[in-house]
Amino acid sequence: MKLSALNITLLIIALTAGLLANSKSASKFLPKMILISGGYYLPLFKDDGETAKEFVKSFYLDSHPITNAEYLEFVKANSQWRKSKVKRIFADANYLREWKGDLELGKNVKANDPVCNVSWFAANAYSRWAGKRLPTVSEWEFAFSKNLIDKIEKLNSAKTFYEWTFDFNESNFQASSACGGAGSSANDPTNYAAFLRFSFRNSLKPNYCLEDLGFRCASGIHVNIHDKILSER
């Protein structure tokens, strides 16, 4: 994976935040992670000049999307992410809409349901606090194609549940989104489920907070993110 200057900056911030967070022992609230062994997968879109299949390195992925209870620990430790304090530039007015208060879920929100109405900024901050990061689109799609995260469909079976990814709007999807255009650049134009996910991701802005959108965290195969940065430099 190539790291842009921005990404390195983000990871350094993540590192710092992660170290700070570790000191507050966030880990005891964190979900179990599963090892996703690397391999090839067929991305929905092919880039010019590249082979259809893409290699995804081994990584760890949370076994389930972050729950309301887990997210509550994050806002307890990080007051700037509380409902009443968050800046609109980082999260729109729907942020944690169903929560009763800053530190109170209320009776309509189940502690073990995935947290929703969280922005990309919030999901990213949580990941850093947890010493992790958001999975990339490739990682998420790869794990999904291996049926390793099929749980997401079952958690909220009435509606499709989506998850934030680190690079949610970086694909060339938008450029080719007019009418039938997208089909011709796709590796498998009959994969309508993937089109739905890509189209959802590409309609998002990072401060959006939506009913059906949560997240889970990933980390490199080196559990220590500091090592990861060093190894990739």
Partner 1 sequence: MNILKNKKAIIGVSTAVVLIVAAVILMFGFEGADSNRIEGIEYAQLTYAPEVPRPITRDYPTKVIVKLEAIQVTGRLADGVQYNFWTFGGKVPGEFIRVREGDEVEFHLENSPFCNVPHSIDLHAVSGPGGGAVASQTVPGHSSVFTFKAEHAGLYIYHCATQPVPLHIANGMYGLIYVQPKKDLPKVDHEFYIMQSEFYTNGNYGDPGLQAFSLDKALAEDPTYVVFNGSVGALTGDNAIHAKVGQTVRLFVGNIGPNLTSSFHVIGVIFNKVYLFGGTNVTQKDVQTVNIPAGGAAVVEFKVDVPGTYTIVDHSIFRAFNKGAVGSLVVTGKPNKEIFSGKQQDNLFYGSDLDKQVQASNNQSVSDNSTVGNSIEDIVAAGKKVFSTTCFACHQPDAKGIAGVFPPLAGSDFLNANKDRAIEIVLHGKTGPVTVNGKQFNNTMPPQPLNDEQIASVLTYVYYSFGNSGKIVTKDEVAKIRAEKQVTLK
Helix (H, G, I), strand (E, B) or coil at 93: coil
Residue (6 or 179) nearer to partner 1, CB: 179
Q: Which of residues 50-79 bind partner 1 (CB under 8 A)?
A: none
CA distance 122 to 225: 20
Question: How far apart are CB 153 and partner 1 at their closest, in Å?
Answer: 12
Determine, following the binding rule CB under 8 A, whether residue 49 of this chain makes contact with partner 1.
Answer: no
Which residue in 117, 145, 3, 118 sits closest to 61, CA to CA?
145
Q: How many CB atoms lie within 10 A of CB 147?
A: 8
Q: Which of residues 146-175 bind partner 1 (CB under 8 A)?
A: 159-160, 173-174
What is the rounded CA–CA span in Å between residue 100 and residue 182?
A: 42
Under the binding rule (CB under 8 A), the answer on residue 89 touching partner 1 is no
Output the smallest distance, CB 202 to partner 1, in A. 8
Nearer to partner 1, 60 or 162 (CB): 162
Choice from 195, 214, 219, 220 touching partner 1 (CB under 8 A): 195
**Per-residue tokens: 112:** 């073990």
Minimum Å gap between C-beta 78 and partner 1 is 25
SS3 content of the chain, % helix, strand, coil (to 5): 35, 10, 50
Q: How far is the CB of 200 from partner 1 (least distance, A)?
A: 6
Q: State residue 33 phi and psi, 5-degree precision.
A: -110, 145
Q: Which stretch binds partner 1 (CB under 8 A): 59-67, 139-147, 187-195, 217-225?
A: 187-195
Alpha helices in 84-136 (DSSP H): 120-129
Gyration radius from the chain CA atoms: 18
Look at strands 54-56 and 213-214 and give their pairing: unpaired
The yes or no reply on residue 203 touching partner 1 (CB under 8 A) is yes
Taking the least distance from each CB to partner 1, the nearer of 72 and 182 is 182
Least distance (Å) between residue 145 CB and partner 1:
17
Write out the residues near partner 1 by the rule CB under 8 A.
94, 159-160, 173-174, 177-180, 182-183, 190, 192, 195-196, 198-200, 202-204, 208, 210-212
